[in-house]
């Protein structure tokens, strides 16, 4: 994961070795059908298209507070990836791009964002069933937030109607 491709530029200091500005704790892990990077869908659209469900196996009280039948934003911790690239050259891309213009899992803070449908909660086991997810089995989870279209889905049309401030 530390391979440097043509056109890629690392930061002067690797965030993986920088002093911490803050710390995270895992609240659970994903259980998914994807056992390797090769089989794992590349994004949530591709994951939904597989029709394969997934689960969250919560720890530390994550089971409290969510039922099924709604949408949520899942935050993952993408531990397997380099954190040092500011300019990177994904295999599918024609040329290098800035990390913050990409959804690449290689980022200074390796937090993934996955808008998921929460299908149901298994009250006995505490597992939360998801319609689909684009994460390898065992990936740690940091947070689950309710998804509100009014705040989280921004259409260009809405902005055009309001005009430029």
Could you tell me the smallest distance in angstroms from the CB atom of residue 37 to a copy of itself?
18
DSSP SS3 for 110: coil
Could you tell me the smallest distance in angstroms from the CB atom of residue 29 to a copy of itself?
11
d(CA 28, CA 55): 10
Q: Does 122 bind a copy of itself (CB under 8 A)?
A: no
Q: Does 150 bind a copy of itself (CB under 8 A)?
A: yes
E strand residue ranges, 34-110? 54-58, 70-77, 85-88, 97-98
d(CA 95, CA 1): 19
Is residue 60 within 8 A of residue 131, CB to CB? The reply is no
If the CB atoms of residues 35 and 61 are measured against a copy of itself, the closer one turns out to be: 61
Residue with tokens 């921004």: 154
Cα of first residue to Cα of last residue in the chain, in angstroms, is 43
If the CB atoms of residues 20 and 124 are measured against a copy of itself, the closer one turns out to be: 20
According to CB under 8 A, which residues from 70 to 109 bind a copy of itself?
Answer: 71-73, 75, 77, 79, 86-87, 97-103, 107-109
**List of residues contacting a copy of itself (CB under 8 A):** 11, 15, 18, 20-27, 43-45, 48, 51-53, 60-62, 64-66, 71-73, 75, 77, 79, 86-87, 97-103, 107-111, 113, 115, 117, 131-132, 140, 142-156, 159, 162, 165
């Amino acid at each position: 994961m530390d391979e440097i491709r043509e056109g890629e530029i690392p930061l002067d200091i690797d965030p993986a070795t920088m002093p911490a500005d803050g710390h995270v704790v895992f609240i659970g892990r994903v259980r998914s059908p994807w056992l390797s990077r090769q089989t794992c869908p590349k994004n949530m659209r591709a994951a939904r298209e597989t029709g394969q469900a997934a689960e969250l196996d919560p720890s530390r009280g994550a089971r409290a507070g969510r039922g099924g039948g709604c949408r949520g934003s899942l935050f993952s911790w993408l531990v397997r990836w380099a954190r040092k690239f500011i300019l990177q050259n994904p295999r599918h891309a024609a040329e290098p791009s800035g990390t913050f213009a990409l959804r690449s899992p290689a980022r200074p803070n390796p937090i993934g964002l996955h808008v998921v449908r929460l299908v149901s909660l298994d009250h006995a086991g505490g597992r939360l069933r998801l319609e689909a997810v684009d994460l390898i089995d065992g990936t740690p989870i940091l947070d689950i937030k309710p998804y509100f279209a009014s705040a989280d889905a921004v259409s260009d049309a809405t902005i055009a109607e309001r005009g430029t401030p």
